[in-house]
Amino acid sequence: MKPETTTSTLDHNERELRQLHLNTEVISVINDAGISLRDVTKRYGKKAVVDAINLVIEPGEFMTFLGPSGSGKTTTLNMIAGFVTATEGLLHIYGKPVAKLPAHKRDIGMVFQNYALFPHKTVAENIAYPLERRKIGKAEQKTMIAGALDMVRMGEFGDRYPADLSGGQQQRVALARALVYKPRVLLMDEPLGALDKKLREWLQKEIKRIHREVGSTFVYVTHDQEEALSLSDRIAVFNNGRIEQVGSPAELYQKPETLFVGRFLGESTVLSGSMVGTVDGISTLDISGHAIRVPGQKKSSSLAILIRPENITLYEEGTEPGSSDMNTLPVTVLDANYLGSAWRCEVELPDGSVGTVREAHSAAVREPGTRALMRWNIDAGVLLEDTGDEGVSLT
């Protein structure tokens, strides 16, 4: 094994953890976690691709790394898998220090984006591969392979070669191969990226079902926010080599902590402005000359309010506000699309930027060019620091 070139050593048992002056609480968190990353950093030259990440993934949890390309999510996954060595930090899997362990000794399952099935082996031989490496007897191998194929509903395909299978079938074989030896951790690197939408949605359900069945810790990397929202117990949103926020899909969607997270997940309307004052925990912001109220308080020169489109209703100009806990902002309708279950309207905000609205009070306000009023409940707004991040959610 190569000696670490950095001052920080990565391989520690519990005694060594104590010597690092970690308190007992931290040590017990590391020991109880499915996967624990502490200050994990990966540098290429001077550039930190992954910058001091701290993350605890619970045993049996479905954790998704979500972020734009180049945000460090795949590098983090590759560090867990052992394909990339961390420059600094502590990496533990089920309490075991693994940072110095080569990939073939980590006993982790992995599903690759391009499937990475062995083209010269049949489906059954592919699935047998990890079992052969573990010196499992032929008879037992047979039962395990059959079980794994049944789990992914590919029972009849054992004798086929990967090239004879469709993309979705290959991905299911890859899943069976990664799970047949019952690893406690399964990593998935954009496994559905190359598939069409219908197949992707169906495989998402399959992956969820399999996660419930095997109960392993799943770590799933994707740049597709819908996929992340529908699959995960928790999501870690990556940006620029750091984790912006970790939380359940609902938390991230409803209570984003940064503008980046709010914009990356789902659609949003963002109003930029400056603080006027705070009364009883309700702040008033100056949005292009309009006083807009929002719960919370923040000390920053440039602030933003994020509202989800389904919480905003469009009214015709001149409509009186129904209650006092509503905000009103005049807008111009730019476009309206019928989505089946609702209309999606794009509106021009007072500062010229574009916002999205899901509900319209009457059909008249859907006409492009109409001046209208956009109204939402004060509590539906989220006060955030305006970091100037442009929306990247178009993936």
**Is residue 214 near another protein by the rule CB under 8 A?**
no
Number of H helices, E strands in the chain: 10, 21
**Pick 159 or 379: Cβ nearer another protein:** 159
**Minimum CB separation from another protein for residue 155, in Å?**
21
**Is residue 114 near another protein by the rule CB under 8 A?**
yes
Stretch that binds another protein, among 93-101, 111-119, 240-248, 348-356 (CB under 8 A): 111-119
**Minimum CB separation from another protein for residue 137, in Å?**
16
- Work out which of 107, 224, 226, 257 binds another protein, going by CB under 8 A: 107
Across the beta sheet with 326-338, the strand order is: 354-357, 343-348, 326-338, 371-377, 313-316, 359-360
Report which of 98, 117, 111, 127 is spatially closest to residue 220, judged by C-alpha positions: 111
Helix (H, G, I), strand (E, B) or coil at 189: strand
* Burial class of residue 73 (count of CB atoms within 10 Å of its CB; 0-12, 13-18, 19+): buried
**Is residue 79 near another protein by the rule CB under 8 A?**
no
Phi/psi for 268 (5° steps) reads: -155, 155
**Is residue 85 near another protein by the rule CB under 8 A?**
no
Phi/psi for 42 (5° steps) reads: -125, 120
Stretch that binds another protein, among 23-31, 159-167, 309-317, 327-335 (CB under 8 A): 159-167
Alpha helices in the chain (DSSP H): 14-19, 24-32, 73-81, 123-133, 138-151, 167-179, 197-214, 225-231, 249-254, 259-264
Question: Can you tell me the distance from the alpha carbon of 350 to that of 332, in angstroms, rounded to the nearest whole number?
Answer: 8
**Is residue 81 near another protein by the rule CB under 8 A?**
yes
**Minimum CB separation from another protein for residue 327, in Å?**
51
**Pick 133 or 371: Cβ nearer another protein:** 133
Question: Can you tell me the distance from the alpha carbon of 106 to that of 102, in angstroms, rounded to the nearest whole number?
Answer: 7
CB 354 within 8 A of CB 334: yes
Write out the two tokens for 386.
């305006």
Stretch that binds another protein, among 1-9, 20-28, 79-87, 248-256 (CB under 8 A): 79-87
**Pick 21 or 138: Cβ nearer another protein:** 138
**Minimum CB separation from another protein for residue 102, in Å?**
7
- Work out which of 2, 120, 198, 299 binds another protein, going by CB under 8 A: 120
**Is residue 162 near another protein by the rule CB under 8 A?**
yes
Q: Applying CB under 8 A, which residues contact another protein?
A: 81-83, 102-110, 112, 114, 116, 118-120, 129-130, 133-134, 161-164, 170, 177-178, 181
